[in-house]
């Protein structure tokens, strides 16, 4: 992973961006990467709440 980390740093993108399965997921990662950690947490909480109201997919195990 050291090479991937260096590549991400040189591109100015989050490491996860390099591993995104779709363009939409990559765009979401880039967008979240522009936010502070607390703003990221709020954005994710808002998205989860929206999914719950919409009857979305089951929630995966949370990472700490």
Contact 45, 34 (CB under 8 A): no
pTM: 0.74
Reading the block at residue 12, the tokens are 């100015």
**Strand residues in 1-64 grouped as ranges (E):** none
Quickly state the pLDDT bin for 1 (edges 50, 70, 90): confident
Q: Rounded distance, CA 56 to CA 37, Å?
A: 24
pLDDT of residue 2: 87
pLDDT in tens, 11-58: 999 999 999 999 999 999 999 999 999 999 999 999 999 999 988 665
Between vectors from CA 14 to CA 22 and to CA 2, what angle results, nearest 5°? 105
């Amino acid at each position: 992973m050291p090479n991937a980390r260096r590549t991400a740093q040189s591109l100015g993108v989050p490491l996860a961006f390099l591993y995104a399965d779709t363009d939409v997921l990559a765009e979401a990662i880039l967008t979240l990467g522009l936010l502070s950690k607390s703003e990221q947490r709020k954005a994710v909480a808002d998205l989860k709440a929206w999914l719950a109201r919409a009857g979305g997919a089951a929630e995966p195990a949370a990472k700490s």
